[in-house]
């Protein structure tokens, strides 16, 4: 019986140690994918005409402000030449981020020409010369308002040829994704689209100042998937789990003065600047960051309402399995969403009681498909009542799909946006074959995933590593258990022997 007790004890220790070291893989996922991003901004003289109010700088500041402390960012400006304003800089403190944001305003549009080859080369060199040990997914955002123009048509043609035949292949091999923004219809849209397509980025056409801010937001949400609060008629609800909120409030006119109304009808304006309240004004929108916001209903006053956003830092996050940028057309996708609290799958039934999960899918033809996600154990849902909500979706045509995912509980609501493209299955296989975990050619020769969505799981969870650790720990625990058992038997034998000697001595 004693032997059986020891075996039960050993089993108990093994099970609990393994549960401690190897929790569910869901707890290893995060919305906060680490990225290293270079902003490559056009500073040719033509920008004075196309962007007289420097909205591109404001949009870039908004983009950088929403990056996390795990990310790094740098800035390059270019005209006929390039200038590195900031190399890749860690954003681990508020001071580091503030220095980077302020440096954007140093960019002056005074160049005579637009050298897109030099823009891509400078962005590539920023990553190639980087010796920082902890690297994120390499991304560049390139914005230009003109065509390739160095003042010499023959040189233009030569540089475009080098860009297409050599430089883009090198950039692609290093795993750098370039997102390109054509700021006007006169931009070199064909070349900018080729740069994006070759490097598995995305091309955007921002036909005016008003389109820049939504474009930068689209890129951010594609890369980072930040959690948001729904903003309805200018109002949003702060819950107890929200630590910080960054608001983007669009203006009716450039002279509009945005105000905030917090619980208790307390008004806040741009003049309110302190350690918990940061307010940046532009001609098109205001960006307001509030630390430890008051719980309750807030309202944005004097905003035109369209494109208002409320991004939050919270320990209660919405996570989704929809992480790939590409999916095969006409094949079913199992869309799953769940809530994580402090990085682990939420198991508090009280928070999920009567929770509603839904998805709104914007189709390539402009229609919207609305779906309710269920936790009933049906179809592809893993298990009834486990907190993971599911629904099968099949993209019927090629193109871009924009998905809004949400879970609404009694005391909270979380929203995220995802974007993916549906393409033919054979093309998807070819892309995955060509982009399968390329080696990054740096001094450290680190591996870097070209498909950033894979990084969301791979960097946190390796089955090979788990199995090795699992085996080592179990072998060690079994060995310890065996040693205890052997030691116990020997001690018992010695104890009995000593007792016999003592009894004989007494006699």
pLDDT band of 488, cuts 50, 70, 90: low
Does 483 reside within a domain?
yes
CATH number reported for the structural domain that contains residue 182 in this entry: 3.40.50.410
Count the neighbouring beta carbons within 10 Å of the beta carbon of residue 201: 23
Residue-level pLDDT at 73: 95
Give 62-103 pLDDT, tens digit per residue.
Answer: 888 888 888 999 999 999 899 999 999 999 888 888 889 888
Residue-level pLDDT at 18: 43
Sign of CA dihedral 424, 426, 429, 431: negative
Give 233-285 pLDDT, tens digit per residue.
Answer: 999 999 999 999 999 898 888 889 999 999 999 999 999 888 889 898 888 88
Q: Are residues 195 and 250 in the same domain?
A: no
Residue-level pLDDT at 267: 94
Q: Which of 195, 224, 253 is the last residue of a domain?
A: 224
Q: Which of 295, 314, 333 is the last residue of a domain?
A: 314
CB proximity list for 78: less than 8 A, separation 6 or greater: 40, 41, 42, 43, 111, 114, 115, 118, 119, 122
Percent of the chain with pLDDT over 90: 41
Q: Are residues 50 and 150 in the same domain?
A: yes
Rounded Cα gap, residues 256 and 54, in angstroms: 17
Q: What is the value of pTM for the model shown?
A: 0.72
Does 216 reside within a domain?
yes
Rounded Cα gap, residues 354 and 408, in angstroms: 9
CB proximity list for 102: less than 8 A, separation 6 or greater: none
Residue-level pLDDT at 85: 92
Rounded Cα gap, residues 311 and 172, in angstroms: 32
- Of 77, 94, 93, the closest CA to residue 85 belongs to 77
| Helix, strand, coil percentages for the chain (3-state, nearest 5) | 35, 30, 35
Does 300 reside within a domain?
yes
Give 342-359 pLDDT, tens digit per residue.
Answer: 888 987 878 888 899 999
Q: Are residues 41 and 142 in the same domain?
A: yes
Q: Inform me whether the pLDDT recorded for 130 exceeds 50.
A: yes
Q: Are residues 340 and 369 in the same domain?
A: yes
pLDDT band of 210, cuts 50, 70, 90: confident
Q: Are residues 213 and 124 in the same domain?
A: yes
- Of 100, 66, 68, 65, the closest CA to residue 85 belongs to 100
CB proximity list for 220: less than 8 A, separation 6 or greater: 63, 66, 226
Percent of the chain with pLDDT over 70: 79
Q: Are residues 164 and 193 in the same domain?
A: yes
Q: Inform me whether the pLDDT recorded for 449 exceeds 60.
A: no
Q: Are residues 62 and 207 in the same domain?
A: yes
**Domain extent at residue 479:** 1-24+461-501
Count the residues in the chain: 507
Residue-level pLDDT at 185: 83
Give 146-172 pLDDT, tens digit per residue.
Answer: 888 888 999 999 999 999 999 999 999
Residue-level pLDDT at 193: 93
Q: How many domains does the chain have?
A: 4
């Amino acid at each position: 019986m004693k032997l059986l007790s020891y075996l039960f004890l050993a089993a108990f220790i093994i099970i609990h140690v393994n549960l401690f070291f190897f929790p569910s893989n869901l707890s290893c996922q995060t919305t906060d994918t680490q990225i290293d991003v270079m902003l490559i901004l056009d500073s040719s003289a033509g920008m004075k005409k196309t962007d007289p109010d420097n909205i591109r700088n404001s949009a870039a500041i908004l983009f950088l402000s929403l990056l996390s402390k795990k990310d790094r960012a740098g800035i390059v400006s270019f005209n006929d030449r390039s200038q590195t304003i900031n190399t890749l800089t860690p954003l681990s403190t508020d001071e580091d981020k503030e220095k980077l944001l302020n440096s954007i305003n140093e960019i002056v549009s005074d160049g005579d020409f637009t050298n897109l080859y030099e823009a891509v080369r400078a962005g590539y060199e920023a990553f190639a010369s980087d010796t920082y040990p902890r690297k994120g997914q390499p991304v560049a955002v390139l914005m230009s308002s003109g065509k390739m123009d160095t003042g010499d048509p023959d040189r233009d043609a030569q540089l475009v040829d080098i860009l297409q035949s050599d430089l883009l292949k090198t950039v692609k091999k290093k795993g750098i994704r370039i997102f390109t923004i054509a700021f006007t219809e006169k931009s070199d849209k064909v070349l900018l689209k080729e740069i994006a397509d070759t490097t598995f980025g995305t091309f955007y056409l921002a036909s005016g100042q008003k389109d820049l801010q939504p474009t930068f937001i689209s890129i951010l949400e594609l890369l980072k998937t930040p959690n948001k609060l729904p903003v309805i008629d200018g109002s949003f609800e702060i819950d107890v789990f929200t630590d910080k909120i960054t608001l983007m409030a669009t203006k009716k006119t450039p002279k509009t003065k945005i105000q905030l109304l917090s619980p208790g009808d307390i008004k806040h304006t741009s003049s309110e600047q302190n350690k918990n309240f940061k307010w940046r004004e532009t001609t098109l929108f205001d960006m307001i960051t509030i630390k430890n916001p008051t719980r309750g209903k807030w309202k944005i006053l004097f905003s035109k309402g369209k494109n208002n956003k409320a991004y939050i830092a919270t320990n209660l996050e919405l996570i989704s399995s929809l992480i790939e940028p590409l999916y095969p057309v006409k094949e079913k996708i199992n869309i799953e969403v769940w809530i994580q609290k402090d990085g682990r799958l939420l198991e508090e039934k009280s928070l999920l009681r009567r929770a509603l999960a839904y998805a709104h899918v914007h189709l390539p033809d402009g229609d919207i498909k609305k779906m309710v996600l269920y936790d009933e154990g049906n179809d592809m849902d893993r298990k009834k009542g486990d907190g993971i909500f599911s629904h099968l979706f099949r993209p019927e045509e090629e193109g871009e799909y924009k998905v809004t995912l949400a879970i609404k509980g009694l005391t909270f609501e979380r929203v995220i946006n995802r974007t993916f493209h549906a393409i033919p299955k054979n093309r998807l296989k070819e892309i995955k074959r060509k982009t399968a975990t390329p080696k990054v050619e740096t001094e450290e020769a680190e591996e870097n995933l070209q498909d950033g969505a894979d990084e969301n799981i791979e960097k946190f969870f390796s089955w090979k590593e788990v199995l090795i650790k699992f085996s080592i720990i179990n072998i060690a625990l079994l060995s310890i258990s065996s040693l205890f058992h052997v030691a116990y038997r020997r001690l018992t034998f010695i104890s009995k022997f000593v007792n016999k000697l003592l009894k004989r001595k007494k006699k």
